[in-house]
């Protein structure tokens, strides 16, 4: 842990962990593709490398495992077949590059303070929160309060998950304040997410707060934060990609099509089942055939296989990848309002989302017009015999929640938030869940296992060691 969590860890570690084998990374002076060009850098240049690290953390193996454990994707061969069957050990996971990237985000803040730059500090705080939120969402209790000072705390304590959540909200509140400052240093060239637009970073911070409040069932606070969150698709935090292999391609494309074709797919997963059931339903206001084809392509790796669409859909080489989006923000608003009993406001948020989907926009791409239909719903559509209540749930509230949850499951594909959803939905009231089948055994995985490296070096690791079926504290 000492080497992994120090904010002093050199940027070169990111290249070893994330980008080994890429030869053209040193060509860009702003290090948007090369976080290890130098180790003693100014704050704006450091920002570019850290952004790259955060971006990769949203497309890595951990995200694929989370997507499989959520039932969106299936593991069909080699290691991923074992992951899909919930077979993991402490050797399956690592805290690199999680903590090195979080440490770089903290270093951004230190360097920004040194030059009085509140804008860049605010972005650094959002990036830190994104990384630490992922860590606690997957592992539960984690080092945070002592994580970035290896001199004073060579073996940092594991903070309770509830305390980590509280600290993340403080970090994000401070970020929002800094991003509201009247002036700061420009970082347009280094920011490949928002091009230096501090208002968009501020909205993203609010959406992340809303996500965390949804996890803990603080629905009124989730509404408040989402109301100041990402307000249009133009505010999506998307990782841009290109078509140069080993340089800037989408990492899902690299895995699905280049390096591990056929190791994962949608055969046996719940996502195509859910989408096909919605396509075949009597719901005349919705047609998601185009969305199905955007995500799934038949026969890329084998005849009849349900493959991720790396040809002309969501997972092409240059497809942007979502980190925080307007669609997630609207669905947080919709679910939180529905759980508060404000079904009219929930429906308004859902219909606003559907109006955007009707344009064909999905994470920076446009799906086909044929097979694309998202007309506005009315509350009567969710009556026990309504067209948007195919499972004949007994109340408008529960039927509306089922629709919102279904839409989240679909639109959060290949984002670890779908794994958070199925765990929290077992606790949220009223209980409304999708009938996602198990791939193996009788237990659903609930968490990632603490990495062996941490177990070996940090005596503060929780004992007894939890296995993958032990619920996280926030979802107990």
Residue 386 lies in a domain: yes
**pLDDT-based confidence at 14, cuts 50/70/90?**
very low
What is the sign, positive or negative, of the torsion defined by CA atoms of 57, 60, 65, 70? Answer: positive
118-139 and 98-115 helices, crossing angle to 10°: 160
Whether 348 is in a domain gets the answer: yes
Q: Let me know if residue 246 belongs to a domain.
A: yes
Look at residue 195 and tell me whether its pLDDT is greater than 90. yes
Which range among 19-28, 167-176, 250-259, 456-465 shows the weakest confidence by mean pLDDT? 19-28
Domain count, the chain: 1
Give me the mean pLDDT over the 315-321 stretch.
98
pLDDT beyond 90 at 35? no
Return the pLDDT at 42.
Answer: 85
Task: Please tell me the predicted confidence (pLDDT) of residue 68.
Answer: 98
Query: Nearest-CA neighbor of 159 among 170, 171, 146, 168?
Result: 146
Q: Is 241 a member of any domain?
A: yes
Residue 102 above 70 pLDDT?
yes
Q: The domain spanning residue 349 has which CATH number?
A: 1.25.40.900
Residue 71 domain-assigned (yes or no):
no
Share the mean pLDDT of the chain: 92
> Quick one: pLDDT at residue 38?
38
Q: Is the pLDDT of residue 5 over 80?
A: no
Provide mean pLDDT across the span 97-102: 96
Q: In which domain, by residue range, is 288 found?
A: 230-444
Specify if 278 maps to a domain.
yes
pLDDT of 313 higher than 60: yes
Q: Is residue 459 part of a domain?
A: no
Stretch 110-119: mean pLDDT: 96
Does any domain span residue 354?
yes
């Amino acid at each position: 842990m000492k080497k992994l969590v120090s904010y002093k860890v050199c940027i070169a570690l990111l290249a070893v962990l994330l980008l080994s084998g890429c030869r053209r990374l040193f060509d860009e002076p702003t290090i948007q593709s090369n976080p290890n060009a130098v180790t003693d850098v100014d704050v704006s240049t450091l920002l570019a490398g850290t952004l790259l690290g955060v971006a990769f953390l949203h497309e890595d193996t951990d995200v694929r495992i989370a997507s499989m454990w959520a039932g969106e994707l299936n593991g069909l061969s080699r290691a991923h077949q074992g992951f899909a069957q919930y077979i993991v050990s402490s050797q399956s996971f690592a805290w690199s590059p999680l903590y090195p990237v979080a440490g770089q985000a903290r270093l951004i803040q230190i360097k920004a303070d040194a030059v009085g730059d509140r804008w860049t500090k605010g972005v650094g705080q959002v990036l830190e929160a994104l990384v630490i939120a992922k860590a606690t969402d997957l592992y539960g209790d984690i080092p945070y309060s002592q994580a970035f000072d290896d001199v004073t705390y060579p073996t940092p304590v594991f903070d309770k998950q509830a305390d980590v959540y509280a600290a993340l909200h403080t970090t994000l509140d401070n970020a929002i304040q800094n991003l509201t400052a009247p002036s700061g240093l420009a970082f347009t060239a280094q920011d490949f997410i928002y091009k230096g637009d501090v208002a968009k970073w501020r909205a993203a911070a609010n959406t992340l707060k809303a996500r965390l409040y949804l996890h803990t069932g603080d629905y009124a606070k989730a509404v408040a934060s989402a109301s100041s969150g990402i307000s249009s698709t133009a505010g999506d935090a998307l990782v841009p990609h290109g078509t140069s292999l080993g340089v800037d391609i989408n990492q899902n494309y690299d895995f699905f099509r280049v390096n591990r074709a056929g190791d994962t797919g949608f055969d046996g997963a719940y996502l195509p089942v859910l989408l096909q059931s919605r396509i075949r339903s009597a719901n005349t206001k919705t047609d998601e055939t185009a969305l199905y084809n955007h995500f799934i392509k038949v026969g890329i790796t084998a005849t009849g296989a349900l493959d991720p669409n790396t040809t002309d859909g969501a997972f092409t080489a240059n497809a942007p990848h979502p980190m925080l989006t307007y669609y997630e923000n609207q669905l947080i608003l919709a679910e939180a309002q529905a759980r508060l009993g404000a079904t009219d406001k929930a429906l308004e948020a859902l219909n606003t989302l559907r109006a955007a989907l009707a344009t064909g926009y999905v994470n920076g791409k446009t799906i086909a017009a044929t097979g694309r239909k998202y007309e506005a719903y009315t509350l009567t559509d969710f009556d026990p015999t309504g067209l948007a209540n195919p499972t004949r749930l007994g109340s408008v509230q529960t039927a509306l929640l089922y629709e919102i949850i279904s839409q989240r499951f679909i639109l959060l594909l290949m984002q670890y938030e779908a794994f958070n959803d199925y765990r929290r939905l077992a606790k949220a009231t009223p209980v409304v869940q999708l009938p996602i089948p198990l791939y193996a055994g009788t237990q659903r995985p609930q968490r990632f296992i603490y990495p062996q490296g941490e177990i070996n070096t940090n005596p503060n690791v929780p004992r007894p060691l939890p296995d993958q079926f032990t619920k996280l504290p926030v979802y107990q």
